[in-house]
Amino acid sequence: MQYKIEAPKTIDTIVNLPASKSISNRALILKALSKEIHGIDNLSNCDDTNVMVEAFEGNSNLIDVKAAGTSMRFLTAYLSRTLGDWIITGTERMKERPINVLVDALISLGARIEYLGKLGYPPLKIKGTALDGGEIYLSGEVSSQFISALLMIAPTMTKGLIIHMEGNIISVPYIRLTLGMMAQFGVKAVWEGNTIKIFPEEYKGIPYTVESDWSAASYWYEILALAESGKVKLKGLFSDSMQGDSKVAELFLDLGVETEFIEDGVLLTKTNRITGKMFHDFVNEPDLAQTFAVTCCMMNIPFMFTGLQTLKIKETDRIEALKKELKKLGFILKDSMNSILEWDGERCIPETAPVIKTYEDHRMAMAFAPAALRFNNLRIDKPTVVTKSYPFFWEDLKEAGFTIEEIEKEVG
């Protein structure tokens, strides 16, 4: 299935954003570890969170996280210290995403984990047991989800946990988010330099409300930047957010979108402040890279983006996916081995009716859909992939004036 998208020239809409899946998934783990009896308000209704809910509420020892990378990492750590015999698996793409760094760390702390397929990759067989804990060394350039998974179970270990992160630490805001939420549940860590110390301690159960998703907000910033005129109100966002992707409000100032925090969210308005070229290190906000790559190309703004180390091991190789799909729209992007992605203005002849492949990646669909504001006859292939994080994305676009026509045809 494909969606053919036609966009309005002016945007004037109010959006009830989805809850943050990053916060929701951490809250579910912390709730389980604290034995909290209260529910979680505004819990995300996306695929990634639903598989975690099913894991906690189901009675099966076989857990299928499907394409949810965060769920795979968090549940692997959680199950390793939860009594029982468990098998955790996922999609074929999930079985290509390495997890050996996390598994090796857990085994060194007392976990009993085996690979059921290719060494270093899911699926996993886990025999849950009490973990000793202790001291480990990890590269700071591993996925922050590995580090967050270890941090959340650290207080339950007999000796607690000391993590030494060597070299450059990527995605620092996600680690801070994890530690901030742990503190809300009663466990405080000590972070000095590249070392985080967590002592044995019991979590305290609390009622919890999840903030809306700043990553989802980024697509509305993109939409307003590409529209001729208009304004957008996004509900449920906080000025003191712990989400690293709240950086989007600052970054879009150079792309003509201004943010005003109001009582129940933010109000976005257009300005005339447009940069001549955009430079940014996305090491702390990797999930925003696709949004900005597409936005800059559509606005004819050359860019150089760095800090994209983790993009190659996401739902797809996002760097290669961006290069291939933006070429269909007439833009020649270049990348290098040291995680730089750039567009220097080089163009090619665009396709007349481009079909954007989504590669089982929700962010490919949502980052490219706004391109319809600048590109006619745009189609998105396999658009339902957005349910991974933003189930009502297409309905919200329709409310904003987009026309979306379903076409029963697939590429490839």
Region 122-128 average pLDDT: 98
How would residue 109 be classed by pLDDT, with cut points 50, 70 and 90?
very high
- Within 10 angstroms of residue 247's Cβ, the number of other Cβ atoms is 18
How would residue 315 be classed by pLDDT, with cut points 50, 70 and 90?
low
Domain boundaries 2-18+214-407, CATH class: alpha beta
Say if strands 40-41 and 208-209 run parallel, antiparallel, or are unpaired.
parallel
From-to residues of CATH 3.65.10.10 in the chain: 2-18+214-407, 21-198
Token duo for residue 110: 């007392």
pLDDT at 32 exceeding the cut of 80: yes
pLDDT in tens, 233-261: 999 999 999 999 999 999 999 999 999 99
Average predicted confidence (pLDDT) for the chain: 94
What is the structure's pLDDT at 38? 77
pLDDT at 299 exceeding the cut of 50: yes
Say if strands 195-198 and 10-16 run parallel, antiparallel, or are unpaired.
unpaired
pLDDT in tens, 286-296: 899 999 999 99
Which of these is catalytic: 47, 287, 381, 396? 287
What is the structure's pLDDT at 182? 98
pLDDT at 409 exceeding the cut of 70: no
Region 256-269 average pLDDT: 96
According to CATH, what is the number of the domain 21-198?
A: 3.65.10.10
pLDDT in tens, 165-210: 998 887 788 999 999 999 999 999 999 999 999 999 999 999 999 9
What is the structure's pLDDT at 412? 44
CA angle 335, 384, 144 (to 5 degrees): 50
Region 297-302 average pLDDT: 98
Token duo for residue 50: 């639903």
* Residues in a beta bridge with 336: 340
Burial 121-155 (b: 16+ CB within 10 A, else e): bbbbebebeebebeebebebbbbbbbbbbbbbbbb
How would residue 101 be classed by pLDDT, with cut points 50, 70 and 90?
very high
- Within 10 angstroms of residue 35's Cβ, the number of other Cβ atoms is 10
What is the structure's pLDDT at 312? 67
How would residue 411 be classed by pLDDT, with cut points 50, 70 and 90?
very low
pLDDT at 314 exceeding the cut of 70: no
What is the structure's pLDDT at 387? 92
Distance in angstroms (rounded) separating the CA atoms of residues 397 and 7: 9
How would residue 313 be classed by pLDDT, with cut points 50, 70 and 90?
low
* 8 A C-beta contact, residue 329 and residue 314: no
pLDDT at 30 exceeding the cut of 90: yes
Place of tokens 């209260």: 38
pLDDT at 54 exceeding the cut of 60: yes
Residues with Cβ within 8 Å of 360's Cβ and at least 6 positions away in sequence, in order, are: 67, 91, 93, 315, 316, 382, 385
What is the structure's pLDDT at 170? 79
pLDDT in tens, 338-380: 689 999 999 999 999 999 999 989 999 999 999 999 998 899 9
pLDDT in tens, 330-346: 999 999 876 899 999 99
pTM here is: 0.83
Q: Residue 47 catalytic?
A: no
